[in-house]
Amino acid sequence: MQSCRSCRRLRSFIRASENVRLFLSGWKFFFLALMGVLSACGNGDTLESFGGPTMGSTYSIKYVRHAGLPAPDEVRVKVEQILADIDRQMSTYRSDSDIERFNQLPANHCQKMPAPVLELVRVGEQLAVQSDGSYDLTVEPLLNLWGFGPQARGEKIPTAEALAEARKRVGHQHLRIEGDRLCKDAAVEVDFDSIAAGYAVDTIAASLEAMGIHDYLAEATGELKASGKKPDGSPWRIALEEPRDDQQVAERIITVDGYGVSTSGDYRNYFEQGGRRFSHTFDALTGAPVSHTLASVTVIHPSVLMADGLSTLLLILGPQRGWDYAEKHDVGAFFVIRADTGFVTRSNHAFERLSGKKTE
């Protein structure tokens, strides 16, 4: 979508226990300290942990295994089946996925789609309307043209003619849902990059809950949801890091119970030309990368799917329009803004209210 999934995510580290600290840089976890993946308490509960590759990035699951709960191998099978299903339905990097087969259709055609795909199209339409079209699921031709998409042929500033041609194939208004079919009246291409991982985490969290697992931290490509507590009774703590490459500095530490967290940033995937930086985050209205001073946005929301999409939307809108949107729609948001002396941060009341609060 507006951003490259494998590169766009926050640099943050997640303290899942006192003994394990994971550092998330763009799209992968780096083990800074590993003194035991399992941490035990006197009551016999253990912190189980596993992970693997997904969506060109990684996923990680941690859960407290109380008596009678399933072993990690059993949980892993269910989690990886969920991820495989989503990949088969939504990946733009495999020609046989449901969405990629739709993308190859010409204008004025429809295709039967699985329910999750239609759900994400509806969410994308909602966000597009609320952002006056700046957020759009159909920007893949622009991503490819500028050198960021799955069919990109090198990073470059496109000509005005090429940009005008690509924009003919962009626009959420060209999509419609008819029953269980997705239809288009122009040769648009759908990219779920900004919301698929959030949907995956929501689905995984629901599966964990169905298995009786209520104390967990589930993460995919940087989108995460935490519920309950660690074996020692302390909350899950998440450190949001400054958007910089030279050193690891925690900007803010939050506790989360029952909420999803997503961060979008413009600093992990870009190219420079003529003294200008061109980010992978696009405004569909202009057809070009954003050029404001907002470096990253973290959103807290009960739905990781919505947190995922909203963090991208706010990043596109920028430091003022994004702030106004968050205030109008009561979106918990934490902004990191570039300044002459480094970074300044700004969080709204909704963010302060939600960080550390348990859902009812």
Mean pLDDT confidence for 215-222:
97
Rounded to two decimals, what is the model's pTM? 0.85
Tell me: pLDDT of 285 over 80. yes
Structural domain including 140 reads 89-184
66 within domain boundaries: no
% of the chain with per-residue pLDDT over 90: 63
101 within domain boundaries: yes
Domain total for the chain?
Answer: 1
* Residue 315, SS3 per DSSP: helix
105 within domain boundaries: yes
10 within domain boundaries: no
Residue 136 annotated as lining a ligand binding site:
no
Residue 131 annotated as lining a ligand binding site:
no
At residue 246 the predicted structure's pLDDT band, cuts being 50, 70 and 90, is: low
Tell me the two tokens of residue 55: 């969506």
Rounded distance between C-alpha atoms, residue 136 and residue 285, angstroms: 9
Tell me the two tokens of residue 37: 């993946």
Mean pLDDT confidence for 213-237:
96
* Residue 228, SS3 per DSSP: coil
Mean pLDDT confidence for 54-67:
96
Q: Are 26 and 221 in contact, with CB atoms under 8 Å apart? A: no
220 within domain boundaries: no
What are the pLDDT digits (tens) for 102-111?
999 999 999 9
268 within domain boundaries: no
356 within domain boundaries: no
At residue 59 the predicted structure's pLDDT band, cuts being 50, 70 and 90, is: very high
Q: Are 43 and 227 in contact, with CB atoms under 8 Å apart? A: no
132 within domain boundaries: yes
Q: Are 62 and 99 in contact, with CB atoms under 8 Å apart? A: no
Rounded distance between C-alpha atoms, residue 348 and residue 333, angstroms: 6
**200: phi then psi, degrees, rounded to nearest 5:** -60, -45
Q: Are 350 and 297 in contact, with CB atoms under 8 Å apart? A: no
The CATH number of the domain holding residue 144 is 1.10.3980.10
pLDDT of residue 25: 34
Q: Are 297 and 348 in contact, with CB atoms under 8 Å apart? A: no
Instruction: Quickly list DSSP for 259-308.
Output: EEEEEEESSSSEEEETTEEEES-EETTTTEE--SSEEEEEEEES-HHHHH
Tell me: pLDDT of 96 over 80. yes
% of the chain with per-residue pLDDT over 70: 78
Tell me: pLDDT of 266 over 80. no
At residue 34 the predicted structure's pLDDT band, cuts being 50, 70 and 90, is: very low
What are the pLDDT digits (tens) for 296-319?
999 999 999 999 999 999 999 999
Phi-psi region of 239 (alpha: psi -120 to 50; beta: other; left: phi over 0): beta
Mean pLDDT confidence for 190-214:
98
Mean pLDDT confidence for 276-297:
78
Tell me: pLDDT of 286 over 90. no
Mean pLDDT confidence for 230-249:
81
What are the pLDDT digits (tens) for 150-177?
554 555 677 788 888 888 889 999 999 9
Tell me the two tokens of residue 159: 């000509």
Instruction: Quickly list DSSP for 161-191.
Output: HHHHHHHTT--GGGEEEETTEEEESS-----
Residue 134 annotated as lining a ligand binding site:
no
